[in-house]
Amino acid sequence: MERDYPLEKVRNIGIIAHIDAGKTTTTERVLFYTGVSHKIGEVHDGETVTDWMEQERERGITITSAAVTCFWTPTYAGNDKNKKHRFNIIDTPGHIDFTVEVKRSLRVLDGAVVVFDGVAGVEPQSETNWRYADEAKVPRICFINKLDRTGASFEHSYATILDRLTKKAVRMQIPIGLEEKHEGVIDLLTMKAFYFEGEMGNKVVEKDLSVQAGIPGNLKTEAEKYHHELIEKIVEQDDAVMNEYLEGKIPDMNVLKKLLRKGVIANEIFPVYAGSALKNKGVQLVLDGVVDYLPSPLDIPPVEGTDPDHNDELIFRHASDDEPFSALAFKVATDPFVGQLIFFRVYSGTLTAGSYIYNPRTRNKERIGRILRMHANDREEMKKVFAGEIAAAVGLKDTITSDTICDEEHPIELDRIIFPEPVIQLRIEPKTKADQEKMGMALNRLAQEDPTFKVSTDQETGETIIAGMGELHLEIIVDRMKREFTVEANVGKPQVAYRETITSNAEAEGKYIKQSGGRGNYGHVKIKVKPMTIFSKEEIEDLPKNTKRANGFEFINTIKGGVIPQEYIAPCEKGFKEGLDRGVVAGFKIVNVSVELWDGSYHEVDSNEMAFKIAASMAIQDACKRAKPMILEPMMKVEVVTPEKFMGDITGNLSSKRGIIEGMEDRGMNKALRAVVPLSEMFGYMTGLRSMTEGRASFTMEFLRYDIVPNSVAETIIVARK
């Protein structure tokens, strides 16, 4: 079976934004204009294609990223079938509690459309998503949406992109009119005006820039000014073209488009489009931009991985059907009809339904049952997938998010996706005996799907504790348990996921010796601990070979002369990690610790792996007690949007919550206040905010960092834990 679509005409893109910027509405327009859906579903009616979960439709938000395949012929190509492109689109959530969906989607996408609210501009989650896209080196085009809203300002929103995200953004379009007068857009590259006519704006009408076309005179002058800015930005991508331009020669349109594409793919230019998805204006031209400027799988560098058997050996795979098969599993989902689905992105080679794949993490082979191409929650069966495609597999039992699946003869392990740690937790218990067994299974399944959702047991009380990214996150988890797994549960109050850390250096010794006739146990280690230094990715790659880093933990092995045999080093590392799971101040997990194993001894007969693991655990607990341990708390980046008259009350209230006010700005008719506040002070904040502002203010909150808890607060936490 041959590939049904040329790779250069495939675009794997994501639509990302802050909550309520209009991602799902934009995606619905995309599906309508590309012919996937024959009517436009609206978020407020609960009828959208990509928000298909009951919880999404009830709340009017996106919770899980939905994958959709569609086809688009650019508006300027007419009916030329040779210009048709395939889009694999992922509509991601904007709410910070579901940030994992954005992070894992960006990892497997080649490009992204970042949607901004035309009134608010860049919002907190826009910054987080932009940072994730920077980490994944994903080329982006920007779409300033909602320009029909009262208070909309393209220039203000564009200025916030330059100010908070990147100086490399450049206007690709400017709007014709704003608010209720928003009629269309001017394309600054071609210097044409575009209007969107017909009931659903599906007829794109192109007009010359003239006053007769309904363009105000001052707008034409503005367009000419920004046109020159855009051309200057584009010619910077090629020295020869730039020299010609400086001599007065304007490059032709094909050269300009080629250079703009080169700049976008290299993340040197981020074109900014304008429109209103709800009012059906501008979306088709954004799709043209995806075709013209975002990369196909052939345009991105080969994917990099390591040889599972020789970890330091780098391997590269190109986007070609002829190379050995390699893919990354980026999402696990439970489908009520087919069971567990594993979403994966194919980087190289091909995969046929019924064949076997190799998982380097488990070192096992698994058989692929069926392969599906997903259209939100609908599916189409495929016999074979090719390089550059996104699909879902049925039948993989041991594959989890971030696993590589590959050809056994040519193994490769791709970089794993690093997910943020949960910041909030609550206790949960089944209501009845019958619910007990079902609850364990349900929580296990949900934790498989979502790497930011963790389940643990309190060793002292035996209670089940679930942890996640926020109150809404855990509320959705409990709701899904009830609806999908019919499990009724009693839920405790949300609690902060505190951490502990050390603030100075210390040394310790751990001995575990038990000898009582016959074979005994003997483990002996000497260690040094210090606060872990935070390095950049490049600096981490340059660390010595004897250094291993994981989330908040660094292990350095400097054992010389075999004083501890090599086979006991790994059990020591495991013992250190287990010792850090229970803190020395209040029992919270200890993080950001660097431990050096530098000496010890062993017994020819009595030494074993368990003895060294226990000795290591004892040593790290002792060392941490001596290293000035402190409690850490999650700090949240908070943004409150409020009418100006309530500003004094809100700033006073946030200051009383140990908040630090970082700045404020105009946001349409309102003020936006930015602050950093401890999560422990923010429970139930919405209720207080509503009563303070007559229900007219709103706020968003996302995790920023962990900070040391003040002594007075730490004492309260310690007492509460006892």
Question: Hey, what amino acid is at 538?
Answer: E
CA–CA dist 659, 675 (Å, integer) = 6
Residue 505 in marked binding region: no
Is 21 annotated as ligand-binding?
Answer: yes
In terms of Cβ atoms closer than 10 Å to its own Cβ (0-12, 13-18, 19+), residue 519 is exposed
DSSP assignments along 383-426, one per residue: SEE-TT-EEEEE--SS--TT-EEE-TTS--EEPPPP-PPP-EEE
Asked if residue 17 belongs to a known ligand binding site, the reply is yes
Q: Is 23 annotated as a binding residue?
A: yes
- Check the annotation: does 599 bind a ligand: no
Distances (CA, A) of 197 to 123, 184, 202, 302, 527: 31, 10, 6, 43, 73
Q: Is 575 annotated as a binding residue?
A: no
Cα atoms in the Cβ-side hemisphere of radius 13 Å centred on 568: 27
What is the bridge-based pairing of β-strands 629-642 and 499-502? antiparallel
Instruction: Determine contact, residues 715/585, Cβ cutoff 8 Å.
Output: no
Query: Is the sign of the CA dihedral 56, 57, 61, 67 positive or negative?
Result: positive
- 499 touches 631 (CB < 8 A): yes
* 22 in a labelled binding site: yes
Q: Is 577 marked as binding a ligand?
A: no
Annotated binding residue at 145? yes
Long-range Cβ pairs for the range 185-190 (8 Å, 24+): 185/273, 185/274, 185/275, 185/281, 185/282, 185/285, 186/215, 186/219, 186/223, 187/285, 188/223, 188/226, 188/227, 188/230, 189/227, 189/230, 189/253, 189/256, 189/257, 189/260, 190/253
Is 93 annotated as ligand-binding? Answer: yes
Q: Report H helices in 209-282.
A: 217-235, 239-246, 253-265
Q: Does the annotation flag 387 for ligand binding?
A: no
- The answer to whether 357 is annotated as binding is no
Is 666 known to sit in a ligand binding site?
no
**Closest alpha carbon to 719 in 628, 631, 592, 611:** 631
Q: Which residues are annotated as a binding site for GTP?
A: 17-24, 91-95, 145-148
Q: Which residues are annotated as a binding site?
A: 17-24, 91-95, 145-148
